[in-house]
Structure 1
Amino acid sequence: MKSVNKASLFFLLLIFVSSCTQRAENEKSFNADEMIIRISEIEIDSADLEEYISILKEESEASVRLEPGVISIYPMYQKENPTQIRILEIYKDKEAYDSHLETPHFKHYKTTTLKMVKSLKLLDMEAIDEESMPAIFEKLSENE
C-alpha cells in the first residue's frame, strides 16, 4: 500500500511541476507590446448572410487551428441585427498578421465574400490590462 501512495505522490508531483513549467513558458512567450489587436466591423448584405457566416466560420477555425501566431479570430454578430458582424482578431505580432494574410484560407475568405460585404471598418486596438490577458487564456484551457 505504501508503494502505491509513493507512486501516486510522485505522479502528482510530476503533474504539478509540468504545469508550472508550462505556465512559465506561456508567460515568457506572451508579449502584449508586439501583439496586434483589432476589431473588424463588417456589414453583410442580408441576402448573403448565411453563406457569409459559413465561409467566415471555416476561415476563423482554420486560422486558429493552423496558424501558431493567430491567438484569436473570434467572429460574432449583433443580436438585434445579425448582418452586423464583429470579429475580435488577436495576433502574436506583425509577422503573424502578415503571414495570416497570405494563407490560402484567408485568401479564399477574402475573395469569396468580397461581393457580400456592404461595409468594412478595421479598428486597431490597444490592451488596457495586458497583464490579465494570459490569465484569460489559462482560464479557457482550464474549462476544457
Structure 2
Amino acid sequence: MKKITLMLFSLLFYMSCGKVERTQDKINSDKMMVRLSEIEIEPEFLEEYVAILKEESRASVALEAGVISIYPMFQKENPTEIRILEIYSNKKAYESHLETPHFKHYKTSTLKMVKSLKLIDMKTIDEESMPMIFKKIN
C-alpha cells in the first residue's frame, strides 16, 4: 500500500512539474501583445460604462483562448480615469478579439461615454515571472 501511495504521489508531482514547464514554454514575449488602455469617462456615464466594461472583459477572458488578460481598474482618487491591462497571446488573437460580438457591443454602446482614449503598446521585461503571477491568483 505504501509503495502504491508513493508511486501515485510521485506521478502527481511529475505531472504538475511538467504542466508548469509547458505553461512557461507557451509564453513568447516577441509574439505576445501587451497594452495599457487609458480611458477617461464622462462622469454622467460612469456607472453604465463600468457595467458594460465588466461584461466585455469577463466574456473576453472566458470565451477567447488568445485573451490572457483584460483587467480593468480605475484611479482611486478619480474613478472616471479607467485603465485596462490587456494581454493577448499574439496579434492575431487581438485582431480576432476586435471582431467578437461582445467587443463590438462594448465599443458601439460606450462610444458616447468616452471622453478620451489612449492605447499604449508595451513590451514585457520579465516574461518568465508571468506564469507565477497568474498562478498565485488562484
TM interval, shorter chain, is over 0.9
3-state secondary structure, aligned to 1:105: helix
**What is the Cα deviation at residue 9 of structure 1?**
1.6
Partner residue, 2:89: 92
CA distance in 1, matches of 2:19, 2:88: 20
3-state secondary structure, aligned to 1:134: helix
TM-score (norm: length of structure 1): 0.91
For residues 26-49 of structure 1, what are the alpha-carbon distances to aligned partners after superposition, in whole Å with 9 as ceiling and x for unaligned? 122110111111000000111111
TM-score (norm: length of structure 2): 0.95
Partner residue, 2:59: 62
Partner residue, 2:74: 77
Q: What is the aligned-residue identity percentage?
A: 64
CA distance in 2, matches of 1:128, 1:26: 18
CA distance in 1, matches of 2:26, 2:78: 38
List alignment gaps of at least 5 residues for structure 2. none
Partner residue, 1:51: 48
Equivalent of residue 104 in structure 1, options 101, 104, 108: 101
Partner residue, 1:7: 4
Question: How many residues align structurally?
Answer: 138
CA RMSD of aligned residues (A): 1.1
